[in-house]
């Protein structure tokens, strides 16, 4: 019966999944077919299916595991003063640290990582307050406290010099980190970053200024469906079971993530304000910087890219046609190629 917590009998039409690919703790080895799921024999052993919470969570966890495996990423964790930080790591080369946006997590980078791990050692973390990392509603999650927590994480990994990238809120944190710890940065990559005051209001910010819920946060499946439509220009195919699980996670984190949103965004004089805006913080920033922005972004207005690029002399601005707020998901190969080309164009220090 679907949803049972013990042995599961699920009539689903699908594919075959093998223990060689998936970890035993998730699925072991079973056959998805027009018949009910049942244990099968392999050359090694016979596995049975027990103690799963729901079919959608099984399939979702399988999907997450598969995308990580294809990208060559493995989950890890490490402690800082405030608690545990979870992250994905894989690849070889110079370190490239990836910071996700508000309401997201480290797996936002998995699709692009498959194109980056041949060139970089990828480290994609759950920022404090998100994903599987520490969650404490009593902490201040504004940009500068998060910069210091990120620095604690980097110290714990014993990293001295690296490339740093961030999308949306992660870009806001990345820019402020780079300015604070300039000596650690090889290059900076900002993808549709938050934190630029002198730009036009986006569709989402107009709603926030009218006391509406930020559309990047969702309390139920209907709101999560609207969130998907907001962040993508052309909505990719997302299986129903994935939307179901993601919407459950969004609901469970809604209160904390709304608090984090309010820690970061301030409304003053009819505008969204930030405590450390990027166009001020990064004015005259001396290190190589790539700014990537989807022209169809409805979360953060694309005009902010030009504003920031103007203040960052020597930065490169790449505006992407037919792409929304998450270029690393909508166009992972193209977006990865931008940064690889940018990095390869940099002159190595003498």
Three-class SS of the chain = CCCCCCCCCCCCCCCEECCCCCCCCCCCCEECCCCCCCEEECCCCEECCCCCCCHHHHHHHHHHHHHHHHHCCEEEEEEECCEEEEEEEEECCEEEEEECCCCCCHHHHHHHHHHHCCCEEEEEECCCCCCCCCCCCCCCCCHHHHHHHHHHHHHHCCCCCEEEEEECHHHHHHHHHHHHCHHHEEEEEEECCCCCCCCCCCHHHHHHHCCCCCCCCCCCHHHHHHHHHHHCCCCCCCCHHHHHHHHHHHHHHHHHHHHHHHHHCEEECCEEECCCCHHHHCCCCCCCEEEEEECCCCCCCCHHHHHHHHHCCCCEEEEECCCCCCHHHHCHHHHHHHHHHHHHHCCCCC
Query: In this structure, what token pair is assigned to residue 203?
Result: 């569709």
Domain ranges, residue 34 = 1-52
pLDDT recorded at residue 212: 93
Does some domain include residue 235?
Answer: yes
Entry pTM: 0.86
- On whether both 198 and 230 belong to a single domain, the answer is yes
Looking at the structure, tell me whether residues 305 and 285 fall in a common domain. yes
Q: 44 and 69 share a domain?
A: no
Q: Residue 348 — very low, low, confident or very high, per pLDDT cuts 50/70/90?
A: low
On whether both 247 and 137 belong to a single domain, the answer is yes
What's the total number of domains in the chain? 2
Note the pLDDT tens digit of each residue in 262-291. Answer: 999 998 888 899 999 999 999 999 999 999
Least-confidence region, from 79-88, 162-171, 339-348: 339-348
Q: Looking at the structure, tell me whether residues 22 and 159 fall in a common domain.
A: no
Alpha carbon distance, N-terminus to C-terminus of the chain: 66
201 and 316 assigned to the same domain: yes
Do 195 and 257 lie in one domain? The reply is: yes
Q: Indicate whether 42 and 69 sit together in one domain.
A: no
Residue 303 counted as domain residue:
yes
Q: How much is the pLDDT for 21?
A: 37
* 23 domain residue, yes or no: yes
Whether residue 350 is contained in a domain is answered as no
Backbone φ, ψ for residue 250 (5° rounding): -60, -40
Q: What pLDDT is recorded for position 1?
A: 27
Whole-number pLDDT of residue 349: 53
Q: In terms of Cα–Cα distance, which of 113, 135, 111, 132 is closest to 123?
A: 113
pLDDT band at 47; cut points 50, 70, 90? very low
Q: Check pLDDT > 80 for residue 40.
A: no
Question: What's 249's domain CATH number?
Answer: 3.40.50.1820
Q: What pLDDT, on the 0 to 100 scale, is given for residue 30?
A: 32
Do 21 and 112 belong to one domain?
Answer: no
- The tokens describing 75, both together, are 């989950």
Both 194 and 109 in a single domain? yes
Q: Are residues 89 and 6 in the same domain?
A: no
* Greatest Cα pair distance in the chain: 69
CA distances from 18 to 6, 27, 29, 36 (A): 21, 9, 5, 17
Work out the pLDDT band at 53, boundaries 50, 70, 90. Answer: low
Q: What is the pLDDT of residues 56-100, one digit of tens each?
A: 899 999 999 999 999 999 999 999 999 999 999 999 999 999 999
Residue where one domain finishes, among candidates 31, 52, 73 = 52
For the record, the structure tokens of 149 come out as 């927590």
- Shared domain for 102 and 32, answered yes or no, is no
Q: Per the domain annotation, does 22 fall within a domain?
A: yes
Q: Output phi, psi for 65, to 5 deg.
A: -60, -45
């Amino acid at each position: 019966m679907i949803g049972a917590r013990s042995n599961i009998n699920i009539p689903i039409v699908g594919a075959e999944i093998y223990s060689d690919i998936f970890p035993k703790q998730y699925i072991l080895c079973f056959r998805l077919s027009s018949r009910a799921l049942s244990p099968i024999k392999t050359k090694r052993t016979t596995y049975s299916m027990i103690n799963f919470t729901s079919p959608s969570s099984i399939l979702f966890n399988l999907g997450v595991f598969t995308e990580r495996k294809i990208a060559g990423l493995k989950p890890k964790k490490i402690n800082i003063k405030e608690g545990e930080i979870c992250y994905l790591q894989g690849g070889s080369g110079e370190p490239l640290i990836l910071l996700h946006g508000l309401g997201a997590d480290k797996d936002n980078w998995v699709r692009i990582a498959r194109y980056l791990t041949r060139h970089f050692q990828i480290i994609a973390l759950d920022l404090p307050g998100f994903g599987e990392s520490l969650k404490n509603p009593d902490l201040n999650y504004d940009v500068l406290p998060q910069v210091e927590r990120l620095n604690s994480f980097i110290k714990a990994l014993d990293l001295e010099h690296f490339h740093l990238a961030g999308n949306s809120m992660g870009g806001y944190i990345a820019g402020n980190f780079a300015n604070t710890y300039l000596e650690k940065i090889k290059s900076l990559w900002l993808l549709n970053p938050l934190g630029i005051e002198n730009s036009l209001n986006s569709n989402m910010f107009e709603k926030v200024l009218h006391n509406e819920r930020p559309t990047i946060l969702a309390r139920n499946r209907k709101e999560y469906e609207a969130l998907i439509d907001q962040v993508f220009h052309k909505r990719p195919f997302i299986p129903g079971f994935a939307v179901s699980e993601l919407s459950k996670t969004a609901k469970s984190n809604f209160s904390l993530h709304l608090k984090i949103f309010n820690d970061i965004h301030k409304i003053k004089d009819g505008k969204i304000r930030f405590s450390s805006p990027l166009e001020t913080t990064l004015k005259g920033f001396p290190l190589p910087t790539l700014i990537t922005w989807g022209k169809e972004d409805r979360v953060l207005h694309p005009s902010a890219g030009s504003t920031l690029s103007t203040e960052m002399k020597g930065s490169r601005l790449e505006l992407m046609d037919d792409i929304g707020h998450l270029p690393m998901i909508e166009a992972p190969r193209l977006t990865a190629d931008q940064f690889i080309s940018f990095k390869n164009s940099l002159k190595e220090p003498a």
